[in-house]
Amino acid sequence: MRAITVVPHDASTATVTEMPDPPEADGDLVCDGLLMGVCGTDVEITKEGYGWAPDGSKELILGHESLGRVTSAPAGSDFAVGDLVVGIVRRPDPVPCPWCANLEWDMCSNGQYTERGIKQRHGYGSTVFRVESDYAIKADPKLGDAAILIEPTAVVAKVWEQMERIGQRATYAPKTALVTGAGPIGLLAALLGVQRGLDVHVLDVATDGIKPELVAQMGATYHHDGIKNLGFQPDLVVEGTGVGQILLDALRQLNNNGIVGLCGINSLTDEISVAMSSVNKQMVLANQAVVGSVNEARRHYEQANEALASADLPWLERLITKKVPMETWTQALDKGQDDIKVVIDLQS
Ligand SMILES: [Zn+2]
Ligand SMILES: [Zn+2]
């Protein structure tokens, strides 16, 4: 098989390699790789020192955002030849910690989890991959290529679930939601907010182009003028940028009983001055909550599959702004200004 490989943190090693077909130990489902989605994590692994190859290997096969088609499934499994499949990224730690023991590996507390395409396990970025049926999601067949969005949608499905669970501490009656950042995570978070019947607002810096268009098409409102000029106090915020000043502005703008879900990170090191006692006072007096959220359990993939299946398919397809052939996959690491989700075509 052909595989997308890199020695983590050495961009000069990023290549396409001929490798032996995946071992049976990788799982009972054999799939043709169709698409691999690319995000900031892949850029970090290739260029910035994140990521770990499996023990005994220098290279890591990339690819945590996956889409494949089953070519062989064990008799009696829930899968059949031809099914579209997305592989779960994380595997529980071997100890296991209380969360992994409960199949909530997304909450792993000891850091010994592994991740396909990121941490000590080869990814799905190859012309053939295997995955355990217990760690595979059968994508709704009508999604087609848009099923590559299931993994990033699962990330935001978890954020929404976490905010809702916190909201259940008392009467939960949100009306407005603010999403900061109009990249794939922000747009998918906004979609899930619209599907919940909320008045959704998306904030980014672009003044024109595809981002404002996609926001308007989904029935949300686009802003590019900063949080202070929103003109309302959001009940819920999904913060997708990881920028300290944006988080602070969002906190300052938050409505009484409001909840902020954090799902973005970046490598900025700038320091900002914060009147933290005053932020504390506001949060106490207004019963506000902030929650961080990373990765996803199986149920979040299932929620994502359902959310995407009930979304407008042409709108979802517009999120995939570039499809790069496997042989020139490193081009997918450089996003253009109007790129939302860039994918690699594993069959070209
Ligand atoms: Zn990703
Ligand atoms: Zn664990």
Tell me the per-residue pLDDT of 174-233, one tens digit each, with 9 for 90 and over.
999 999 999 999 999 999 999 999 999 999 999 999 999 999 999 999 999 999 999 999
- Residues in the 5 Å CB sphere of ion ligand 2: 93, 97, 100, 108
Q: Is residue 281 part of a domain?
A: yes
The model's confidence at residue 49, banded by pLDDT at 50, 70 and 90, is confident
Nearest ligand to the CA atom of 100? 2
Structural domain of residue 331, as residue ranges?
A: 2-138+312-345
Q: Is residue 66 part of a domain?
A: yes
Looking up residue 188, the CATH number of its domain turns out to be 3.40.50.720
Q: Is residue 96 part of a domain?
A: yes
Distance between Cα 193 and ligand 1 center (Å): 20
Distance between Cα 287 and ligand 1 center (Å): 33
Q: Is residue 211 part of a domain?
A: yes
Judgement on whether residues 182 and 71 belong to the same structural domain of the protein: no
- What's the pTM value of the predicted model, to 2 decimals? 0.97
Nearest ligand to the CA atom of 37? 1
Distance between Cα 38 and ligand 2 center (Å): 26
Structural tokens at position 317: 């397809």
Judgement on whether residues 24 and 92 belong to the same structural domain of the protein: yes
| pLDDT tens-digit series, residues 233-279 | 999 999 999 999 999 999 999 999 999 999 999 889 999 999 999 99
- Integer-rounded Cα Rg, in Å, for the chain is 20
Q: Is residue 301 part of a domain?
A: no
Q: Is residue 307 part of a domain?
A: no
Distance between Cα 224 and ligand 1 center (Å): 25
Judgement on whether residues 287 and 316 belong to the same structural domain of the protein: no
Burial tier of 128 (Cβ tally within 10 Å: 0-12, 13-18, 19+): middle
Looking up residue 331, the CATH number of its domain turns out to be 3.90.180.10
pLDDT of the residue at 267: 86
Q: Do residues 179 and 190 lie in contact, with contact meaning Cβ atoms separated by under 8 Å?
A: yes
- Positive or negative CA dihedral for 178, 223, 212, 332? negative
Residue 133 Cα distances to 73, 153, 283, angstroms: 8, 20, 44
> Distance (Å, rounded) from C-alpha 255 to C-alpha 237?
10
Nearest ligand to the CA atom of 104? 2
Q: Do residues 64 and 33 lie in contact, with contact meaning Cβ atoms separated by under 8 Å?
A: no
Judgement on whether residues 127 and 161 belong to the same structural domain of the protein: no
Kindly report the backbone phi and psi dihedral angles of residue 258, in degrees, each rounded to the nearest multiple of 5, phi listed first: -75, 160
Distance between Cα 89 and ligand 1 center (Å): 9
User: How many domains does the chain divide into?
Assistant: 2
Q: Do residues 178 and 189 lie in contact, with contact meaning Cβ atoms separated by under 8 Å?
A: no
Q: Is residue 143 part of a domain?
A: no
Distance between Cα 32 and ligand 2 center (Å): 30
Nearest ligand to the CA atom of 41? 1
